[in-house]
Chain A
Protein backbone atom coordinates (compact mmCIF):
# COMPACT_ATOMS: atom_id res chain seq x y z
CA UNK A 1 0.00 0.00 0.00
CA UNK A 2 2.65 2.53 1.04
CA UNK A 3 5.00 1.27 -1.68
CA UNK A 4 2.25 1.78 -4.20
CA UNK A 5 1.61 5.24 -2.88
CA UNK A 6 5.28 6.25 -3.18
CA UNK A 7 5.41 4.97 -6.78
CA UNK A 8 2.34 6.97 -7.60
CA UNK A 9 3.83 10.09 -6.03
CA UNK A 10 7.16 9.51 -7.79
CA UNK A 11 5.41 9.10 -11.12
CA UNK A 12 3.34 12.20 -10.46
CA UNK A 13 6.46 14.27 -9.79
CA UNK A 14 8.21 12.87 -12.88
CA UNK A 15 5.20 13.75 -14.97
CA UNK A 16 4.95 17.26 -13.55
CA UNK A 17 8.64 17.92 -14.29
CA UNK A 18 8.20 16.57 -17.82
CA UNK A 19 5.26 18.82 -18.48
CA UNK A 20 7.11 21.80 -17.03
CA UNK A 21 10.16 21.22 -19.26
CA UNK A 22 7.94 20.72 -22.31
CA UNK A 23 6.22 24.00 -21.57
CA UNK A 24 9.60 25.74 -21.22
CA UNK A 25 10.43 24.43 -24.69
CA UNK A 26 7.11 25.70 -26.00
CA UNK A 27 7.37 29.08 -24.33
CA UNK A 28 9.46 30.96 -26.95
CA UNK A 29 6.92 29.98 -29.60
CA UNK A 30 4.07 31.17 -27.45
CA UNK A 31 5.83 34.46 -26.72
CA UNK A 32 6.42 35.25 -30.39
CA UNK A 33 2.80 34.52 -31.27
CA UNK A 34 1.66 36.74 -28.38
CA UNK A 35 4.05 39.49 -29.45
CA UNK A 36 2.65 39.50 -32.96
CA UNK A 37 -0.60 40.90 -31.51
CA UNK A 38 1.06 43.67 -29.50
CA UNK A 39 1.36 47.33 -30.34
CA UNK A 40 4.81 48.82 -30.57
CA UNK A 41 4.40 50.30 -27.09
CA UNK A 42 3.29 47.03 -25.46
CA UNK A 43 6.07 45.17 -27.23
CA UNK A 44 8.87 47.07 -25.53
CA UNK A 45 7.14 47.57 -22.18
CA UNK A 46 9.17 46.71 -19.11
CA UNK A 47 8.06 44.67 -17.24
CA UNK A 48 6.74 42.69 -20.24
CA UNK A 49 2.96 42.83 -20.60
CA UNK A 50 1.04 39.59 -20.22
CA UNK A 51 -2.34 41.23 -20.57
CA UNK A 52 -2.90 43.76 -23.34
CA UNK A 53 -5.42 44.79 -25.95
CA UNK A 54 -4.57 42.72 -29.04
CA UNK A 55 -4.08 44.51 -32.34
CA UNK A 56 -3.97 43.24 -35.90
CA UNK A 57 -1.81 46.18 -36.97
CA UNK A 58 1.31 44.01 -37.40
CA UNK A 59 -0.56 41.56 -39.63
CA UNK A 60 -2.02 44.36 -41.69
CA UNK A 61 1.48 45.76 -42.16
CA UNK A 62 2.99 42.46 -43.14
CA UNK A 63 0.17 41.50 -45.51
CA UNK A 64 0.64 44.77 -47.36
CA UNK A 65 4.37 44.20 -47.77
CA UNK A 66 6.62 42.09 -49.98
CA UNK A 67 6.30 39.25 -47.51
CA UNK A 68 3.19 37.87 -49.20
CA UNK A 69 5.05 37.48 -52.48
CA UNK A 70 8.04 35.92 -50.71
CA UNK A 71 5.78 33.51 -48.87
CA UNK A 72 4.18 32.51 -52.18
CA UNK A 73 7.62 32.01 -53.70
CA UNK A 74 8.52 29.75 -50.78
CA UNK A 75 5.39 27.67 -51.22
CA UNK A 76 5.77 27.38 -55.01
CA UNK A 77 9.44 26.40 -54.80
CA UNK A 78 8.84 23.93 -51.97
CA UNK A 79 5.88 22.32 -53.75
CA UNK A 80 7.70 22.00 -57.09
CA UNK A 81 10.84 20.55 -55.56
CA UNK A 82 8.83 18.15 -53.39
CA UNK A 83 6.81 16.88 -56.36
CA UNK A 84 9.88 16.21 -58.47
CA UNK A 85 11.72 14.62 -55.55
CA UNK A 86 8.84 12.32 -54.65
CA UNK A 87 8.45 11.12 -58.25
CA UNK A 88 12.15 10.46 -58.84
CA UNK A 89 12.71 9.34 -55.25
CA UNK A 90 9.92 6.75 -55.22
CA UNK A 91 11.06 5.25 -58.55
CA UNK A 92 14.65 4.95 -57.37
CA UNK A 93 13.77 3.78 -53.86
CA UNK A 94 11.66 1.04 -55.41
CA UNK A 95 14.57 0.19 -57.69
CA UNK A 96 16.95 -0.19 -54.76
CA UNK A 97 14.38 -2.20 -52.85
CA UNK A 98 13.50 -4.66 -55.62
CA UNK A 99 16.06 -4.62 -58.43
CA UNK A 100 19.57 -4.74 -57.10
CA UNK A 101 21.90 -3.18 -59.62
CA UNK A 102 25.67 -3.37 -59.64
CA UNK A 103 27.19 -1.30 -56.85
CA UNK A 104 23.82 -0.74 -55.13
CA UNK A 105 25.35 -0.30 -51.70
CA UNK A 106 27.85 2.23 -52.94
CA UNK A 107 25.20 4.19 -54.88
CA UNK A 108 22.83 4.21 -51.94
CA UNK A 109 25.55 5.50 -49.64
CA UNK A 110 26.53 8.14 -52.19
CA UNK A 111 22.91 9.33 -52.38
CA UNK A 112 22.73 9.61 -48.60
CA UNK A 113 26.03 11.44 -48.45
CA UNK A 114 24.53 14.18 -50.63
CA UNK A 115 22.24 14.97 -47.73
CA UNK A 116 25.35 15.67 -45.61
CA UNK A 117 26.96 17.94 -48.18
CA UNK A 118 27.69 21.32 -46.61
CA UNK A 119 25.59 23.84 -48.48
CA UNK A 120 28.43 26.33 -48.40
CA UNK A 121 30.50 23.98 -50.61
CA UNK A 122 27.98 24.03 -53.45
CA UNK A 123 26.57 27.50 -53.10
CA UNK A 124 29.53 29.24 -54.78
CA UNK A 125 29.67 27.03 -57.88
CA UNK A 126 25.89 27.08 -58.18
CA UNK A 127 25.97 30.85 -58.04
CA UNK A 128 28.42 30.93 -60.94
CA UNK A 129 26.63 28.19 -62.86
CA UNK A 130 23.23 29.81 -62.62
CA UNK A 131 24.72 33.20 -63.47
CA UNK A 132 26.11 31.71 -66.68
CA UNK A 133 22.77 30.07 -67.48
CA UNK A 134 20.89 33.27 -66.65
CA UNK A 135 18.93 31.47 -63.92
CA UNK A 136 20.00 33.58 -60.95
CA UNK A 137 17.01 34.84 -58.95
CA UNK A 138 14.60 32.36 -60.56
CA UNK A 139 12.39 29.72 -58.98
CA UNK A 140 13.99 27.06 -61.18
CA UNK A 141 17.42 27.54 -59.63
CA UNK A 142 16.18 26.95 -56.09
CA UNK A 143 13.95 24.04 -57.13
CA UNK A 144 16.93 22.30 -58.78
CA UNK A 145 19.20 22.73 -55.76
CA UNK A 146 16.53 21.66 -53.25
CA UNK A 147 15.86 18.58 -55.35
CA UNK A 148 19.37 17.31 -54.59
CA UNK A 149 18.70 17.26 -50.86
CA UNK A 150 15.08 16.14 -51.12
CA UNK A 151 15.75 13.28 -53.55
CA UNK A 152 18.48 11.99 -51.29
CA UNK A 153 16.10 12.09 -48.33
CA UNK A 154 13.18 10.52 -50.27
CA UNK A 155 15.21 7.60 -51.58
CA UNK A 156 16.34 6.68 -48.09
CA UNK A 157 12.99 6.96 -46.36
CA UNK A 158 10.92 5.41 -49.16
CA UNK A 159 13.26 2.45 -49.57
CA UNK A 160 12.34 1.49 -46.00
CA UNK A 161 8.64 1.64 -46.83
CA UNK A 162 9.02 -0.44 -50.01
CA UNK A 163 11.12 -3.00 -48.12
CA UNK A 164 8.18 -3.53 -45.76
CA UNK A 165 5.74 -4.45 -48.56
CA UNK A 166 5.55 -8.26 -48.70
CA UNK A 167 6.96 -9.70 -51.92
CA UNK A 168 4.05 -12.17 -52.06
CA UNK A 169 1.67 -9.36 -52.96
CA UNK A 170 3.77 -8.43 -55.96
CA UNK A 171 4.19 -12.05 -56.97
CA UNK A 172 0.42 -12.50 -56.88
CA UNK A 173 0.02 -9.48 -59.14
CA UNK A 174 2.59 -10.92 -61.55
CA UNK A 175 0.61 -14.14 -61.70
CA UNK A 176 -2.44 -12.09 -62.63
CA UNK A 177 -0.48 -10.93 -65.64
CA UNK A 178 0.72 -7.51 -64.43
CA UNK A 179 3.92 -6.27 -66.02
CA UNK A 180 6.67 -4.88 -63.72
CA UNK A 181 5.59 -1.25 -64.26
CA UNK A 182 1.97 -2.20 -63.57
CA UNK A 183 3.00 -3.96 -60.38
CA UNK A 184 4.81 -0.83 -59.26
CA UNK A 185 2.12 1.69 -60.15
CA UNK A 186 -0.95 -0.36 -59.20
CA UNK A 187 0.27 -2.45 -56.25
CA UNK A 188 3.44 -1.17 -54.55
CA UNK A 189 3.00 2.57 -54.93
CA UNK A 190 -0.52 2.66 -53.43
CA UNK A 191 0.69 0.48 -50.54
CA UNK A 192 3.47 2.97 -49.76
CA UNK A 193 0.96 5.84 -49.53
CA UNK A 194 1.69 6.62 -45.87
CA UNK A 195 5.40 6.74 -46.61
CA UNK A 196 4.88 9.01 -49.59
CA UNK A 197 2.81 11.44 -47.54
CA UNK A 198 5.32 11.57 -44.67
CA UNK A 199 8.26 12.00 -47.01
CA UNK A 200 6.46 14.73 -48.93
CA UNK A 201 5.78 16.70 -45.77
CA UNK A 202 9.39 16.47 -44.66
CA UNK A 203 10.59 17.60 -48.08
CA UNK A 204 8.14 20.52 -47.94
CA UNK A 205 9.29 21.57 -44.48
CA UNK A 206 12.95 21.34 -45.40
CA UNK A 207 12.54 23.37 -48.57
CA UNK A 208 10.44 25.99 -46.80
CA UNK A 209 13.07 26.35 -44.08
CA UNK A 210 16.21 26.54 -46.22
CA UNK A 211 18.05 29.83 -46.01
CA UNK A 212 21.65 29.90 -47.26
CA UNK A 213 20.98 28.73 -50.84
CA UNK A 214 18.00 31.06 -51.10
CA UNK A 215 20.05 33.96 -49.76
CA UNK A 216 22.88 33.33 -52.22
CA UNK A 217 20.88 32.60 -55.37
CA UNK A 218 18.01 35.08 -55.19
CA UNK A 219 17.84 38.85 -55.27
CA UNK A 220 14.22 40.00 -55.52
CA UNK A 221 12.00 38.10 -57.91
CA UNK A 222 12.45 34.64 -56.39
CA UNK A 223 13.23 35.70 -52.82
CA UNK A 224 11.81 33.26 -50.27
CA UNK A 225 10.18 33.98 -46.90
CA UNK A 226 13.25 33.23 -44.71
CA UNK A 227 15.34 35.62 -46.80
CA UNK A 228 12.59 38.20 -46.57
CA UNK A 229 12.42 37.78 -42.81
CA UNK A 230 16.17 38.19 -42.48
CA UNK A 231 16.02 41.41 -44.50
CA UNK A 232 13.09 42.68 -42.44
CA UNK A 233 15.45 42.76 -39.52
CA UNK A 234 18.27 44.55 -41.28
CA UNK A 235 16.58 47.24 -43.29
CA UNK A 236 13.43 48.30 -41.49
CA UNK A 237 15.31 48.97 -38.29
CA UNK A 238 13.98 46.20 -36.15
CA UNK A 239 10.23 46.15 -36.27
CA UNK A 240 9.70 43.24 -33.90
CA UNK A 241 5.93 43.42 -34.15
CA UNK A 242 5.99 42.82 -37.89
CA UNK A 243 8.73 40.23 -37.60
CA UNK A 244 6.67 38.30 -35.03
CA UNK A 245 3.61 38.49 -37.26
CA UNK A 246 5.57 37.29 -40.29
CA UNK A 247 7.23 34.52 -38.29
CA UNK A 248 3.85 33.40 -36.94
CA UNK A 249 2.35 33.27 -40.44
CA UNK A 250 5.39 31.45 -41.77
CA UNK A 251 5.18 28.90 -38.94
CA UNK A 252 1.55 28.04 -39.71
CA UNK A 253 2.04 25.56 -42.57
CA UNK A 254 4.91 23.88 -40.75
CA UNK A 255 2.87 23.49 -37.56
CA UNK A 256 -0.05 22.07 -39.55
CA UNK A 257 2.26 19.61 -41.34
CA UNK A 258 3.77 18.57 -38.01
CA UNK A 259 0.35 17.87 -36.56
CA UNK A 260 -0.46 15.78 -39.64
CA UNK A 261 2.65 13.60 -39.36
CA UNK A 262 2.88 13.43 -35.55
CA UNK A 263 2.06 9.73 -35.43
CA UNK A 264 4.38 8.83 -38.28
CA UNK A 265 7.27 10.76 -36.74
CA UNK A 266 8.31 8.23 -34.12
CA UNK A 267 7.51 5.19 -36.25
CA UNK A 268 9.43 6.57 -39.19
CA UNK A 269 12.50 7.09 -37.05
CA UNK A 270 12.52 3.50 -35.78
CA UNK A 271 13.13 2.32 -39.36
CA UNK A 272 10.37 -0.24 -39.31
CA UNK A 273 11.67 -2.05 -36.24
CA UNK A 274 8.67 -0.95 -34.24
CA UNK A 275 5.52 -2.85 -35.01
Chain B
Protein backbone atom coordinates (compact mmCIF):
# COMPACT_ATOMS: atom_id res chain seq x y z
CA UNK B 1 0.00 0.00 0.00
CA UNK B 2 2.82 2.32 0.87
CA UNK B 3 4.42 1.98 -2.54
CA UNK B 4 1.18 2.52 -4.33
CA UNK B 5 0.60 5.75 -2.47
CA UNK B 6 4.14 6.85 -3.24
CA UNK B 7 3.88 5.72 -6.82
CA UNK B 8 0.63 7.58 -7.33
CA UNK B 9 2.16 10.75 -5.95
CA UNK B 10 5.48 10.72 -7.68
CA UNK B 11 5.03 8.92 -10.95
CA UNK B 12 3.21 10.09 -14.03
CA UNK B 13 -0.30 8.61 -14.05
CA UNK B 14 0.35 6.30 -16.95
CA UNK B 15 3.12 4.55 -15.02
CA UNK B 16 0.73 3.13 -12.39
CA UNK B 17 0.03 -0.06 -14.24
CA UNK B 18 -2.28 -2.89 -13.37
CA UNK B 19 0.67 -5.26 -13.59
CA UNK B 20 2.45 -3.63 -10.62
CA UNK B 21 -0.73 -3.80 -8.62
CA UNK B 22 -1.20 -7.51 -9.15
CA UNK B 23 2.45 -8.14 -8.45
CA UNK B 24 2.22 -6.05 -5.29
CA UNK B 25 -0.74 -8.09 -4.11
CA UNK B 26 0.91 -11.51 -4.37
CA UNK B 27 4.04 -10.09 -2.85
CA UNK B 28 2.16 -8.79 0.21
CA UNK B 29 0.51 -12.17 0.59
CA UNK B 30 3.90 -13.84 0.34
CA UNK B 31 5.16 -11.60 3.14
CA UNK B 32 2.60 -12.71 5.68
CA UNK B 33 0.75 -15.87 4.69
CA UNK B 34 3.53 -18.49 4.87
CA UNK B 35 4.75 -17.32 8.28
CA UNK B 36 1.38 -16.77 9.87
CA UNK B 37 0.10 -20.00 8.36
CA UNK B 38 3.04 -21.95 9.73
CA UNK B 39 2.85 -20.41 13.19
CA UNK B 40 -0.91 -20.88 13.50
CA UNK B 41 -0.68 -24.50 12.34
CA UNK B 42 2.22 -25.28 14.64
CA UNK B 43 0.85 -23.64 17.77
CA UNK B 44 -2.94 -23.83 17.68
CA UNK B 45 -3.06 -27.61 17.61
CA UNK B 46 -0.60 -28.24 20.43
CA UNK B 47 -2.12 -25.61 22.67
CA UNK B 48 -5.72 -26.71 22.09
CA UNK B 49 -4.73 -30.33 22.44
CA UNK B 50 -2.86 -29.69 25.63
CA UNK B 51 -5.73 -27.64 27.04
CA UNK B 52 -8.14 -30.40 26.11
CA UNK B 53 -6.06 -33.25 27.49
CA UNK B 54 -5.64 -31.39 30.79
CA UNK B 55 -9.38 -32.01 31.31
CA UNK B 56 -9.01 -35.78 30.98
CA UNK B 57 -7.77 -38.47 33.27
CA UNK B 58 -5.42 -39.88 30.65
CA UNK B 59 -2.57 -42.24 31.31
CA UNK B 60 -0.42 -43.65 28.50
CA UNK B 61 -1.98 -46.90 27.32
CA UNK B 62 -5.11 -46.31 29.39
CA UNK B 63 -8.47 -44.96 28.37
CA UNK B 64 -9.06 -41.20 28.52
CA UNK B 65 -11.87 -40.22 30.86
CA UNK B 66 -13.27 -36.69 30.99
CA UNK B 67 -12.91 -35.30 34.50
CA UNK B 68 -13.34 -31.57 33.88
CA UNK B 69 -11.07 -29.63 36.18
CA UNK B 70 -10.23 -32.79 38.12
CA UNK B 71 -6.51 -32.61 37.28
CA UNK B 72 -6.34 -29.02 38.44
CA UNK B 73 -8.17 -29.97 41.65
CA UNK B 74 -5.64 -32.77 42.19
CA UNK B 75 -2.82 -30.30 41.71
CA UNK B 76 -4.17 -27.82 44.22
CA UNK B 77 -4.31 -30.54 46.88
CA UNK B 78 -0.93 -32.07 46.02
CA UNK B 79 1.97 -31.02 48.24
CA UNK B 80 4.54 -31.69 45.51
CA UNK B 81 2.79 -29.19 43.24
CA UNK B 82 3.01 -26.49 45.90
CA UNK B 83 6.60 -27.46 46.57
CA UNK B 84 7.43 -27.08 42.87
CA UNK B 85 5.61 -23.75 42.73
CA UNK B 86 7.57 -22.55 45.74
CA UNK B 87 10.89 -23.73 44.29
CA UNK B 88 10.14 -22.07 40.96
CA UNK B 89 9.17 -18.75 42.53
CA UNK B 90 12.06 -18.81 45.01
CA UNK B 91 14.63 -19.44 42.30
CA UNK B 92 13.08 -16.77 40.08
CA UNK B 93 12.92 -14.03 42.71
CA UNK B 94 16.35 -14.64 44.26
CA UNK B 95 18.26 -15.32 41.06
CA UNK B 96 16.75 -12.44 39.10
CA UNK B 97 17.33 -10.00 42.00
CA UNK B 98 21.01 -10.95 42.27
CA UNK B 99 21.42 -10.85 38.50
CA UNK B 100 20.00 -7.34 38.23
CA UNK B 101 22.10 -5.86 41.04
CA UNK B 102 25.30 -7.59 39.92
CA UNK B 103 24.50 -6.82 36.29
CA UNK B 104 24.15 -3.08 36.93
CA UNK B 105 27.46 -2.93 38.82
CA UNK B 106 29.34 -4.97 36.24
CA UNK B 107 27.67 -3.08 33.42
CA UNK B 108 28.93 0.26 34.75
CA UNK B 109 32.35 -1.26 35.37
CA UNK B 110 32.63 -2.63 31.83
CA UNK B 111 31.39 0.63 30.35
CA UNK B 112 34.67 2.36 31.31
CA UNK B 113 36.60 3.49 28.27
CA UNK B 114 39.87 1.67 28.66
CA UNK B 115 41.92 0.06 25.91
CA UNK B 116 41.47 -3.69 25.97
CA UNK B 117 38.12 -3.62 27.79
CA UNK B 118 36.56 -5.18 24.69
CA UNK B 119 38.15 -8.53 25.44
CA UNK B 120 36.64 -8.56 28.94
CA UNK B 121 33.22 -7.68 27.52
CA UNK B 122 33.59 -10.61 25.14
CA UNK B 123 34.54 -12.95 27.99
CA UNK B 124 31.59 -11.87 30.11
CA UNK B 125 29.17 -12.56 27.24
CA UNK B 126 30.27 -16.17 26.81
CA UNK B 127 28.28 -17.85 29.62
CA UNK B 128 24.88 -16.76 28.29
CA UNK B 129 25.68 -18.18 24.86
CA UNK B 130 26.30 -21.69 26.16
CA UNK B 131 23.69 -24.42 26.40
CA UNK B 132 22.11 -24.40 29.89
CA UNK B 133 22.52 -28.15 29.92
CA UNK B 134 26.26 -27.93 29.30
CA UNK B 135 26.53 -25.19 31.91
CA UNK B 136 24.69 -27.42 34.38
CA UNK B 137 27.18 -30.20 33.63
CA UNK B 138 30.16 -27.87 34.22
CA UNK B 139 28.85 -26.85 37.56
CA UNK B 140 28.02 -30.37 38.60
CA UNK B 141 31.68 -31.11 38.07
CA UNK B 142 32.82 -27.98 39.94
CA UNK B 143 30.40 -28.40 42.86
CA UNK B 144 31.04 -32.09 43.45
CA UNK B 145 31.59 -32.69 47.13
CA UNK B 146 34.51 -35.08 46.86
CA UNK B 147 36.61 -33.83 43.96
CA UNK B 148 34.98 -30.51 42.99
CA UNK B 149 37.16 -27.44 42.80
CA UNK B 150 34.78 -25.16 44.73
CA UNK B 151 34.79 -27.28 47.86
CA UNK B 152 38.55 -27.63 47.61
CA UNK B 153 38.90 -23.84 47.61
CA UNK B 154 36.49 -23.62 50.54
CA UNK B 155 38.55 -26.06 52.62
CA UNK B 156 41.66 -24.16 51.58
CA UNK B 157 40.43 -21.04 53.40
CA UNK B 158 39.55 -23.15 56.41
CA UNK B 159 35.86 -24.02 56.11
CA UNK B 160 34.05 -27.35 56.06
CA UNK B 161 33.24 -28.61 52.55
CA UNK B 162 29.64 -27.85 51.61
CA UNK B 163 27.31 -30.64 50.38
CA UNK B 164 26.22 -28.46 47.44
CA UNK B 165 24.11 -30.91 45.51
CA UNK B 166 22.80 -33.21 48.22
CA UNK B 167 21.55 -30.85 50.93
CA UNK B 168 18.08 -29.31 50.36
CA UNK B 169 19.09 -25.69 51.03
CA UNK B 170 22.44 -25.84 49.27
CA UNK B 171 20.98 -27.65 46.28
CA UNK B 172 18.57 -24.77 45.75
CA UNK B 173 21.46 -22.34 46.22
CA UNK B 174 23.45 -24.27 43.60
CA UNK B 175 20.66 -23.90 41.06
CA UNK B 176 20.57 -20.17 41.81
CA UNK B 177 24.37 -19.83 41.56
CA UNK B 178 24.37 -21.50 38.16
CA UNK B 179 21.57 -19.27 36.90
CA UNK B 180 23.35 -16.18 38.21
CA UNK B 181 26.61 -17.26 36.59
CA UNK B 182 24.98 -17.86 33.25
CA UNK B 183 22.56 -14.93 33.09
CA UNK B 184 24.12 -11.98 34.90
CA UNK B 185 25.96 -11.41 31.59
CA UNK B 186 22.58 -10.89 29.91
CA UNK B 187 21.76 -8.07 32.34
CA UNK B 188 25.27 -6.64 31.77
CA UNK B 189 24.58 -6.67 28.03
CA UNK B 190 21.33 -4.74 28.43
CA UNK B 191 22.92 -2.27 30.87
CA UNK B 192 25.76 -1.66 28.39
CA UNK B 193 23.20 -1.12 25.63
CA UNK B 194 21.37 1.40 27.84
CA UNK B 195 24.56 3.21 28.81
CA UNK B 196 25.48 3.43 25.14
CA UNK B 197 22.45 5.66 24.54
CA UNK B 198 23.49 8.29 27.13
CA UNK B 199 24.54 11.43 25.24
CA UNK B 200 28.14 12.42 25.94
CA UNK B 201 27.50 16.19 26.27
CA UNK B 202 25.14 15.54 29.19
CA UNK B 203 27.98 13.83 31.08
CA UNK B 204 30.39 16.65 30.29
CA UNK B 205 27.88 19.17 31.63
CA UNK B 206 27.48 17.10 34.79
CA UNK B 207 31.24 16.95 35.23
CA UNK B 208 31.48 20.75 34.92
CA UNK B 209 28.70 21.16 37.49
CA UNK B 210 30.49 18.73 39.82
CA UNK B 211 27.32 16.67 40.13
CA UNK B 212 27.50 13.92 42.77
CA UNK B 213 27.64 10.30 41.68
CA UNK B 214 24.09 9.73 42.89
CA UNK B 215 22.75 12.79 41.05
CA UNK B 216 24.44 11.59 37.88
CA UNK B 217 22.96 8.13 38.28
CA UNK B 218 19.48 9.41 39.07
CA UNK B 219 19.19 12.11 36.41
CA UNK B 220 21.48 11.06 33.60
CA UNK B 221 21.91 7.29 33.62
CA UNK B 222 18.63 6.09 35.09
CA UNK B 223 16.32 7.41 32.33
CA UNK B 224 18.44 5.45 29.85
CA UNK B 225 18.61 2.32 31.99
CA UNK B 226 14.94 2.00 32.91
CA UNK B 227 13.79 0.41 29.68
CA UNK B 228 16.67 -2.06 29.23
CA UNK B 229 16.42 -3.11 32.86
CA UNK B 230 12.70 -3.77 32.60
CA UNK B 231 13.42 -5.84 29.49
CA UNK B 232 16.05 -7.76 31.42
CA UNK B 233 13.58 -8.38 34.24
CA UNK B 234 10.91 -9.51 31.77
CA UNK B 235 13.10 -11.99 29.91
CA UNK B 236 14.90 -13.29 32.97
CA UNK B 237 11.71 -13.85 34.93
CA UNK B 238 10.05 -15.68 32.06
CA UNK B 239 13.05 -17.88 31.51
CA UNK B 240 13.51 -18.81 35.17
CA UNK B 241 9.78 -19.46 35.57
CA UNK B 242 10.07 -22.15 32.90
CA UNK B 243 13.48 -23.42 34.03
CA UNK B 244 14.12 -27.07 33.26
CA UNK B 245 17.63 -27.90 31.98
CA UNK B 246 19.71 -26.86 34.98
CA UNK B 247 17.82 -28.73 37.73
CA UNK B 248 17.48 -31.69 35.37
CA UNK B 249 21.23 -32.11 34.95
CA UNK B 250 22.59 -30.51 38.12
CA UNK B 251 20.48 -31.99 40.88
CA UNK B 252 17.94 -34.20 39.13
CA UNK B 253 15.32 -32.18 40.98
CA UNK B 254 16.61 -33.51 44.28
CA UNK B 255 17.34 -34.11 47.01
CA UNK B 256 13.73 -35.20 47.30
CA UNK B 257 11.75 -32.54 45.49
CA UNK B 258 13.79 -29.63 46.75
CA UNK B 259 14.89 -28.40 43.33
CA UNK B 260 12.01 -29.71 41.20
CA UNK B 261 10.66 -26.75 39.25
CA UNK B 262 7.17 -26.69 37.72
CA UNK B 263 8.48 -27.48 34.24
CA UNK B 264 10.47 -30.39 35.66
CA UNK B 265 7.41 -31.67 37.55
CA UNK B 266 5.41 -31.51 34.31
CA UNK B 267 8.14 -33.47 32.55
CA UNK B 268 8.11 -36.11 35.28
CA UNK B 269 4.35 -36.53 35.13
CA UNK B 270 4.54 -37.17 31.41
CA UNK B 271 7.73 -39.15 30.93
CA UNK B 272 8.03 -40.93 34.29
CA UNK B 273 4.49 -41.34 35.66
CA UNK B 274 2.84 -41.32 32.18
CA UNK B 275 -0.03 -39.22 33.55
CA UNK B 276 -0.49 -37.05 30.49
CA UNK B 277 -3.55 -35.20 31.74
CA UNK B 278 -1.76 -34.11 34.89
CA UNK B 279 1.36 -33.12 32.90
CA UNK B 280 -0.77 -30.93 30.63
CA UNK B 281 -2.51 -29.34 33.63
CA UNK B 282 0.88 -28.45 35.17
CA UNK B 283 2.11 -26.94 31.93
CA UNK B 284 -1.00 -24.78 31.79
CA UNK B 285 -0.28 -23.52 35.27
CA UNK B 286 3.17 -22.47 33.96
CA UNK B 287 1.56 -20.77 30.96
CA UNK B 288 -0.81 -18.86 33.25
CA UNK B 289 1.94 -17.75 35.65
CA UNK B 290 4.16 -16.59 32.79
CA UNK B 291 1.27 -14.73 31.19
CA UNK B 292 0.51 -12.88 34.40
CA UNK B 293 4.16 -11.89 34.89
CA UNK B 294 4.62 -10.92 31.23
CA UNK B 295 1.46 -8.81 31.27
CA UNK B 296 2.57 -6.90 34.35
CA UNK B 297 5.94 -6.14 32.76
CA UNK B 298 4.52 -5.22 29.38
CA UNK B 299 2.08 -2.84 31.06
CA UNK B 300 4.94 -1.16 32.93
CA UNK B 301 7.10 -1.17 29.79
CA UNK B 302 4.58 0.44 27.48
CA UNK B 303 5.03 4.21 27.73
CA UNK B 304 1.99 6.28 28.71
CA UNK B 305 2.16 8.50 25.64
CA UNK B 306 1.32 7.01 22.23
CA UNK B 307 4.12 4.87 20.94
CA UNK B 308 6.48 6.20 18.31
CA UNK B 309 5.25 4.75 15.08
CA UNK B 310 7.55 4.09 12.20
CA UNK B 311 6.35 6.22 9.34
CA UNK B 312 5.24 3.73 6.75
CA UNK B 313 3.86 6.38 4.46
CA UNK B 314 0.25 5.37 5.13
Contacts and interface: CB of A to CB of B under 8 A. Distances in A.
Contacts, number: 271
A124 interface: yes
B283 A121 contact: yes
Contacts of B2: 98-99, 167
B276 interface: yes
B190 A269 contact: yes
A145 to B, nearest CB: 8
A14 B294 CA distance: 36
**Interface magnitude class on chain A:** 35 or more
A268 B168 CA distance: 40
B133 A148 contact: no
Interface in A130-184: 144-145, 147-148, 151-152, 155, 163, 167, 170-171, 174-175, 179-181, 183-184
B32 A101 contact: yes
A174 B130 CA distance: 44
Nearest to B114: A15
B290 A118 contact: yes
Contacts of B47: 121-122, 125
A23 B184 CA distance: 14
Contacts of B184: 25
Given A25-B185, A88-B34, A274-B196, A269 B228 contact: yes
Contacts of A125: 45-47, 49-50, 53, 280
Interface stretch (A53-61, A63-71, A248-256): A248-256
B10 interface: yes
A266 B266 CA distance: 36
A23 B43 CA distance: 42
A124 B196 contact: no
Given A122-B43, A122-B47, A266-B196, A99 B31 contact: yes
A209 interface: yes
B73 interface: no
Given A18-B120, A122-B47, A258 B190 contact: no
29 contacts: A18-B110, A25-B123, A26-B123, A32-B141, A48-B152, A91-B34, A95-B31, A97-B312, A99-B31, A100-B314, A121-B50, A122-B46, A128-B49, A151-B38, A167-B313, A179-B20, A181-B23, A183-B3, A209-B131, A212-B267, A229-B137, A233-B140, A243-B137, A257-B129, A265-B189, A267-B196, A269-B228, A270-B194, A274-B196
Q: Which 8 residue pairs of A and B lie closest in terms of their CB atoms, listed nearest first?
A: A95-B31, A209-B131, A125-B46, A269-B193, A18-B109, A121-B283, A270-B193, A125-B49
Interface of A: 11, 14-15, 17-19, 21-23, 25-26, 28-29, 31-32, 35, 43-44, 46-48, 88-89, 91-92, 94-95, 97-101, 107, 111, 113-114, 116-129, 144-145, 147-148, 151-152, 155, 163, 167, 170-171, 174-175, 179-181, 183-184, 205, 208-212, 216, 226, 229-230, 233, 240, 243-244, 247, 250-251, 254-255, 257-259, 262, 265-270, 273-274
